[in-house]
Amino acid sequence: MNALVHAPFLIIETGQPVPSMRRYGRFPHWVRVAAGLQADEAIVANVEQGDPLPEPVGFAGVIVTGSGAMVTDRAEWSERSAQWLGTAAHAGLPVLGICYGHQLLAHALGGEVGDNPAGREMGTVTIRLNPQASQDPLFSRLPDTFAAQATHLQTVRRAPEGATVLADSAQDDCHAFRWGNSAWGVQFHPEFAAHHMRGYVHARRDALRGEGLCPRTLAKNVTAAPQARTLLRRFTRHARQLQRR
């Protein structure tokens, strides 16, 4: 049992924070801190920079980071990672995809990813749980609505066959899904604290203005999102429980 309890999590790094936010470290650091994992409890594979992915065995679970890339570009590293994720999910390895990772997991399992018809979603948004979430291991104890940080242009336009859509927002019909018993995708960023979100709004200010959005208002409306942030710890606890069975 000790080998399972201490099995590390694999963090698949698919991109870097915007330059102004790199003083806070890379995405795997943000994820690890929010998940409550010690440094020796996580192994990072930077697939965007060409790191190979290990065999999907011997891990407690897998977390896939966000990225500024687009799944629809079908980059070699992205497609290679999607193939790996599909294999891992079918094998029952616990997986959590965040933002780009959410979209990549959906793509890997046969879903459809594309530009969000509602346009860019950015800032602190309200996540609304679907009734099916009341039976979900990660979402069942969350309130019906809660705040979360989001920044994305693309979305899961069609969830994989057999997936359960767990949550939406005013601008996105698939903010979270579960496939099978141990694979989840979330469009929002549970690893983002309020200062991360404000930094992203500031970094995207020119694009936001060009799209008719007010970065100052978006930044002012950023709030803490403690319920969303608990999702990473819920995932790591649940993944460890699955590995003990």
One-letter-per-residue 3-state SS of the chain? CHHHHCCCEEEEECCCCCHHHHHHCCHHHHHHHHHCCCHHHEEEEEHHHCCCCCCCCCCCEEEECCCCCCHHHCCHHHHHHHHHHHHHHHCCCCEEEECHHHHHHHHHCCCEEEECCCCCEEEEEEEEECHHHHHCCCCCCCCCEEEEEEEECEEEEECCCCCEEEEECCCCCCCEEEECCCEEEECCCCCCCHHHHHHHHHHCHHHHHHCCCCHHHHHHCCCCCHHHHHHHHHHHHHHHHHHHC
196 is catalytic: no
Please tell me the predicted confidence (pLDDT) of residue 3.
43
Q: What is the pLDDT of residues 112-154, one digit of tens each?
A: 999 999 999 999 999 999 999 999 999 999 999 999 999 999 9
Q: What is the pLDDT of residues 29-73, one digit of tens each?
A: 999 999 999 999 999 999 999 999 999 999 999 999 999 999 999
Q: What is the pLDDT of residues 172-211, one digit of tens each?
A: 999 999 999 999 999 999 999 999 999 999 999 999 999 9
pTM of the model: 0.96
191 is catalytic: yes
Active-site entry in 102, 107, 175, 189: 189
189 is catalytic: yes
Active-site entry in 13, 48, 121, 191: 191
Active-site entry in 99, 102, 107, 174: 99
Q: Is the pLDDT of residue 5 over 90?
A: no
